[in-house]
Amino acid sequence: MTVLKTVRSVGLVAVVGAGLLTAKGTGQQPPAPAATRQLVQEASLPAIDRGLRDQDAPRAARSRDDADRLRAEAGDRLSYLRGSVIVKFKAEATTAGMTAATRQVAGDTVDRSGWANFDIIDIPDAADPEAAAALLRARPEVEYAQPRYRNYAMSKPNDPLYANQWNFPAIDMERAWDIQPGGTTSIIVAVLDSGVAFHSGTFRYNSRFPFRLVPGGPIYPALGIVDVPFAAAPELGTSGSTRFAAPRDLIWDDAFPVDLDSHGTHVTGTVGQLTNNSLGGAGMAYNVRIMPVKIIQAIWDEIFSSPHEGTDDVVARGIRYAADNGAKVINLSIGRSEGGPAPVVTDAMRYAVGKGVFIAVASGNTRASGNQPNRLAQPAPDINGMVAVSAVGRTLDSAYYSTSGSYVELSAPGGDQRAGGINAGILQQTLDLDLLETYERPVAQYGPPRADAFAYYYFQGTSMATPHVSGFAALLMQQGVTSPAAVEAAMKQFATDKGAAGRDDLFGDGLINPRATLRGLGLAR
């Protein structure tokens, strides 16, 4: 069902452009895969490191609108998927009751995916998913029901400039690493994001439809069958190595959560970029293992008609997958500011915390544009072991974009390039955007992406703040603080108070202080 919806949203543009454009392929055309991809070559050439991109022209800040560009052209600006809703029936619900509930919303199929304790009910495309969910919630056999809200990356990539990771000294990480040097491989941090550049190989995709990125903009042609080279980011680890644990792609339904966006790879770098290796920069917990779990759909994934989007149910499944496969920390630099609550995600978060997993989630980037809360982060105060993270800039003041609210619990460096310039972002290695985002070029230069070239970019956002907390949690767990609730309590106890005295909506309990927390207390001091 989701596959059809995805194809249809892009397909509207295909109809518009069908008479004008001919699909552009790459050489001889093998049989086209439908809405799947094929791993056509396990190995690939070594990754290309294009170094620090500090002389490029400034890039426009990315926002949720960028992720919506394809859908916007197709007339789909909804914050949720049409044609289905998420529902969790109570354990005592009878088959007859569930059938009646399904029929009440004219649903006809109940689908349960892996790592889910909930179901997806198909409803008519014309039906309002929010209204259908409300009808279901009113039934006695339903624990919760909600639309399949879309989630997005929370960062705003901006101009690369100087190789300067000011963010680590700002939270005294040098002395923190003296105490706990990067954790060990016994700790697994799951990065639930747009994927991670963890695997070398070539994937064959099918770009079947032309599209416009913006309404009225130029039409980019379908590329046909394309082979996209991927490589593991040199600063994250070697492809196939034990650095990466139990990778999972819930957008493509396979075990290759490769990154076609750059966001997840950048976030992962802050969690655990290799350190003391005479290359690039540092990461918080540079010895831990990384679990890449792809739950966000990048523009390329949409161009290639991935079978799933980053909806709430996919996020929930990702959280459950990570918890079931050994993760000790989950990083969620994602979310959404539209739509209602996400009980399906909250339920999964409680499940994960109950299994001993600490969760860090971005507070959101909306303060300059209405300050709508990140719906996924809002339950944080009610879950001991999960924290919502706001961002500070280089001056340790609240970043202009950092969403404030009563659910904000801690703050960490996320960069503020408005206040501090380009190099006031968070620097990490990620995919080379020049070679990845070819849809940013004029149509004549548009072509398949490359995901085997890397560069160092300054990004800003609560997405960048959150992995500081995730890495910090990994170090605390390595130090013996194993309970998620204790990790949260320790972080708050030693946080550096910022803003108004005591807890406030901008900084929560304050700026994380890893060194003081890891050092703990003596008898008298």
How far, in Å, CA of 354 to CA of 345, rounded?
Answer: 14
Please, what sign has the CA dihedral across residues 120, 122, 128, 132?
A: negative
DSSP state of 458: E
**What are the two backbone dihedrals, phi and then psi, of residue 267, each rounded to the nearest 5 degrees?**
-60, -45
How far, in Å, CA of 500 to CA of 21, rounded?
Answer: 58
Residues of this chain that bind other proteins (CB under 8 A): 175, 178-179, 478-481, 485-486, 489-490, 493, 517-525
* Shortest spacing between CB 469 and other proteins, in angstroms: 17
Between residues 67 and 383, which has the closer beta carbon with respect to other proteins? 383
* Shortest spacing between CB 513 and other proteins, in angstroms: 13
Between residues 232 and 476, which has the closer beta carbon with respect to other proteins? 476
* Shortest spacing between CB 175 and other proteins, in angstroms: 7
How far, in Å, CA of 237 to CA of 332, rounded?
Answer: 21
* Shortest spacing between CB 427 and other proteins, in angstroms: 27
* Shortest spacing between CB 494 and other proteins, in angstroms: 9
Return the structure tokens found at 437: 């985002």
Return the structure tokens found at 429: 């290695």
Q: Is 353 in a helix, a strand, or coil?
A: helix
3-state SS string for 286-347: CCCEEEEEECCCCHHHHHCCCCCCCEHHHHHHHHHHHHHCCCCEEEECEECCCCCCCHHHHH
Return the structure tokens found at 503: 């807890």
Between residues 372 and 482, which has the closer beta carbon with respect to other proteins? 482
* Shortest spacing between CB 510 and other proteins, in angstroms: 17
Cβ-in-10-Å burial (0-12, 13-18, 19+) of 254 comes to middle
Between residues 109 and 493, which has the closer beta carbon with respect to other proteins? 493
Of 213, 291, 508, which Cα lies nearest the Cα of 390?
A: 508
Q: Is 110 in a helix, a strand, or coil?
A: strand
Q: Give the DSSP per-residue string, 125-190.
A: TTS-HHHHHHHHHTSTTEEEEEEEEB-EE-EEE--------THHHHTTHHHHHHHS-S--TT-EEE
How far, in Å, CA of 428 to CA of 240, rounded?
Answer: 22
* Shortest spacing between CB 479 and other proteins, in angstroms: 6
Q: Is 476 in a helix, a strand, or coil?
A: helix
Between residues 328 and 394, which has the closer beta carbon with respect to other proteins? 328
How far, in Å, CA of 274 to CA of 287, rounded?
Answer: 7
Between residues 27 and 522, which has the closer beta carbon with respect to other proteins? 522
* Shortest spacing between CB 521 and other proteins, in angstroms: 5
* Shortest spacing between CB 499 and other proteins, in angstroms: 24
DSSP state of 46: P
Counting Cα atoms < 13 Å in the Cβ hemisphere of 131 gives: 10
Between residues 366 and 517, which has the closer beta carbon with respect to other proteins? 517
Between residues 91 and 523, which has the closer beta carbon with respect to other proteins? 523
Give the bridge partners for 203, in sequence order: 39, 228
Cβ neighbours, 10 Å, residue 322: 32
Between residues 390 and 478, which has the closer beta carbon with respect to other proteins? 478
Between residues 295 and 481, which has the closer beta carbon with respect to other proteins? 481
Between residues 396 and 489, which has the closer beta carbon with respect to other proteins? 489
* Shortest spacing between CB 524 and other proteins, in angstroms: 4
* Shortest spacing between CB 185 and other proteins, in angstroms: 15
